[in-house]
Amino acid sequence: MKPFHILIALVAMYAPVAWSQCAPGIPSAGNPGCIPPDQSNSPYYQGTAPSAPQPVWADRWGAVAVDLGTGQSGATSDQGSESQARSEALSACERNGGTKCEIVLWYFNQCAAIAEKPEGGSFGKAHADTVERAEQLALQACGGGSCKVIYTKCSLPVRVQ
């Protein structure tokens, strides 16, 4: 055999097999079937992707304390627990001059409202998922008519993770 024919025979013997072109985004090297990498039978499959961690929320509390004899009041919001909210509202009421303060409203992860009827001294209180809804419920509890909303506040949960 002539050297030229030997060279052609060697090239033919070691010539690469023709590979088909895979679709964009699908690796072709070592993947003769052009299997997408997210399929379990793909040579590039690495299992399912880890899921994102679920968010973690912290509750937030609020409270309102009133001395019903004098009308002095105190309020707090965005506290980490019910007991903190109650304690802070009572302390605020006492700092404002109340001597017989009591909790009239507490809430968490919501909004609160208090409505008052000026001439009669009656009031209504409520908590709901929105300020608007809390105001509406407080006005209804007050008795409507000349009642006016005198307090609104929200204590909404806080994402901690």
How far is the C-alpha of 60 from the C-alpha of 74, rounded, in Å? Answer: 17
Of 6-20, 35-49, 101-115, where does mean pLDDT reach its minimum? Answer: 6-20
Helices (DSSP H) in the chain: which residue ranges?
A: 3-14, 82-95, 131-142
Q: In the prediction, which pLDDT does 23 show? A: 78
With a cut of 70, say whether residue 19 has pLDDT above it: no
Is 25 in a helix, a strand, or coil?
A: coil
How far is the C-alpha of 44 from the C-alpha of 41, rounded, in Å? Answer: 8
Q: Which residue has the tokens 């302390």?
A: 91
Mean pLDDT, residues 29-49 taken together: 76
Q: In the prediction, which pLDDT does 142 show? A: 93
Domain boundaries, the chain: 58-156
Q: In the prediction, which pLDDT does 31 show? A: 72
Amino acid, single-letter form, for residue 46: Q
With a cut of 80, say whether residue 75 has pLDDT above it: yes
Confidence of residue 90 (pLDDT cuts 50, 70, 90): very high
Q: Which residue has the higher pLDDT, 35 or 142?
A: 142
The two tokens of residue 44 are 């590039």
With a cut of 80, say whether residue 7 has pLDDT above it: no
* Mean confidence (pLDDT) of the chain: 86
